Amino acid sequence: MSFNGADINKLNGGLSRKVGSDRTICLIAGLTLEGSMEYNKAYELLSIETAEGLGITVSSDDTNVELTHYNLSEMFRLSPDTTFYLIAVDKTKTVAALVADSALKAAIKSIKNINVLGLIGLGTNVSTALVDAVSIQGLIAEFASEHLLIDGWFVEGVGAAVPIGVTDYPDLRSVSAPNVTYVIAQDPAIASLNDANKLRAAVGTVLGSVGVRRIHEDIGSVDIEQKPRSRRGEENYSLSSELLGRWLSAALSDGKLFSTLTPAEQKSLTAKGYMYVGSFADYGGFYFNGCPTAVEATSDYAYFNHNCIWNKGARIIRRVLIPRVRSKAPTDPATGYLKSTWVSGLESAVLSALSEMESAGNIDGKDIYIDSAQSPSEAVPLRVKGQLVVGKIVHEFDVDLGLTDKI
């Protein structure tokens, strides 16, 4: 016997920072550089303390009249087990200059598997939302042409200095930017800290809400499928925190309190494609109204979670098919068409790979079909048709309730 007492073995992996996660999230922030930070460089953040090590603190927010630390703290508060990324940009840039900046594009592409972006700190006013949304979608389309699929880009919808009526908000559903969402949610407690920030919106709260959810979940869901350890056992996943004084009320980015919005005004904002925070009568906590995108409501991609599902499916199919590029496709000598056994084998391989989405609850079913009557060549690609069955989202209930003297 010795006096060794207890050997402590160092384990790894307990922080759930797993390779291959469905979410890789980056906040692009217009901010004043601190310490050795550089513009257009991606910084990996394991915790809010990592950001503070870069010089982004409550004090720097106050000194520079910015909300970078606040937004990052919201991301880690709501999704504590997620690794996030931060890219600093010049806060005087316009959206047009931002999307044309090759250095920013390179920084975004340097983040392996990046698929969700947020943008804060610039003059992304609600009044210019339609033009700016289309510009950002142009960059997303450019990335897509390089097979980098962005699920969603959440933009800080800066409020108008002179508040506009809800009915006068530009209609985001009138443009074609299906991967862009404007956030106009504001926590009044944060907005009241500095007059210069009273028109800002809480994109960090959105990104944290994205990070903690699975790809098929609506960001406005009252509860989530897998809560962080610190909140297990709660019946919902409210944004509110009595301890921190966060989201005890909610407003739009122009300061208009949610409590003053009529039901018609609430529906108008949702119908126009904006994300904001509100609460239910006789139920505690505050929640997002959903995750609409800037495209017509009848589009299959009118909601962020639908984009996530399609993109994940596309990545999986691409991963299965690439090893078969420029490989032999055997033909039936009697017909000259592709051999049915080869076709069915390829269909099965793709379906098997997509099964991970079904087991994760991302989709409810899938189908892949390849017509054997094809003659692929260097000039003619092999056509593959696929379908993913997407589950329904319950947005509200309509209940018939009456009184009776017997059942």
Per-residue pLDDT tens digits for 50-81: 999 999 999 999 999 999 999 999 999 999 99
Query: Which tens digit of pLDDT belongs to each residue from 301-329?
Result: 999 999 999 999 999 999 999 999 999 99
**Greater model confidence, 352 or 393:** 352
**Burial of 325 per CB tally in 10 Å (0-12, 13-18, 19+):** exposed
pLDDT of residue 2: 54
Task: Write down the mean pLDDT value for the chain.
Answer: 93
Per-residue pLDDT tens digits for 367-407: 999 999 998 999 999 999 999 999 998 888 889 899 999 88
Q: Is the pLDDT of residue 342 over 50?
A: yes
Which DSSP letter does residue 85 get?
Answer: E
What confidence category does residue 11 fall into, taking pLDDT thresholds of 50, 70 and 90?
low
Per-residue confidence at 17, pLDDT binned at 50, 70, 90? very low
The pLDDT, as a whole number, for residue 21 is 74
Is pLDDT above 50 for 15?
no
Rounded (10°) angle between helices 340-359 and 304-321? 140
Report pLDDT for 9. 54
- pLDDT attached to residue 4: 54
Distance between CA 295 and CA 307 in Å, rounded? 12
* pLDDT for 323: 95
CA distance 201 to 273: 15
On the question of pLDDT at 258 being above 90, the answer is yes
* Confidence check: pLDDT of 178 > 90: yes
| Amino acid sitting at position 36 | S
What is the per-residue pLDDT for 16?
Answer: 43
pLDDT at 19 exceeding the cut of 50: no
- The answer on pLDDT for 192 being more than 70 is yes
Find the mean pLDDT for residues 250-258.
97
**Side-chain half-sphere CA neighbours of 53 within 13 A:** 9
Closest CA to 106 of 40, 28, 188: 40
The mean pLDDT value for 262-283 works out to: 96
- 136-175 pLDDT, tens digit each: 999 999 999 999 999 999 999 999 988 899 999 999 999 9
